[in-house]
Amino acid sequence: MAHAPTVFSEPAHRVARWVLPVVLGVVYGNWVAVNRRHGGPITGADVASGVWSALAFTALCIAVVQVLRRLRRDLHALHALLRAVFAGVALGFLYSQTGDDIRPVVMTALLVTAALFLLLFYRFHTRADA
């Protein structure tokens, strides 16, 4: 089975591997700070929480990418599980900052994790090299 040609060169992929998590981390940190604010005035605690969340998200995102790059390509379930758990935990933390009860937060995070796992497993399994 022939591989499709890549649009970007290898140096562009190397740069994107580091830039994309940073950009996503900044967006995530801002979102956390806005959720903590609850429509009130901006406080130092909200900004600090956003910055720490952005740093943690970026570091974890880079770690997940590095771990996934070292895994064998035929471990579809593990690839899908790592990505789904990362997304589910990130969404759960983001939702928890709204101050809502913990039950809907956990249920939403678990449902998103399960749905994303099924979607990613199907994608990886159907596009596996023969």
3-state SS record for the chain: CCCCCCCCCHHHHHHHHHHHHHHHHHHHHHHHHHHHHCCCCCCHHHHHHHHHHHHHHHHHHHHHHHHHHHCCCCCHHHHHHHHHHHHHHHHHHHHHCCCCCHHHHHHHHHHHHHHHHHHHHHHHHHCCCC
pLDDT tens by residue, 80-114: 999 999 999 999 999 999 888 999 999 999 999 99
pLDDT tens by residue, 27-83: 999 999 999 888 888 899 999 999 999 999 999 999 999 998 888 877 888 889 999
User: What pTM did the predictor assign?
Assistant: 0.83
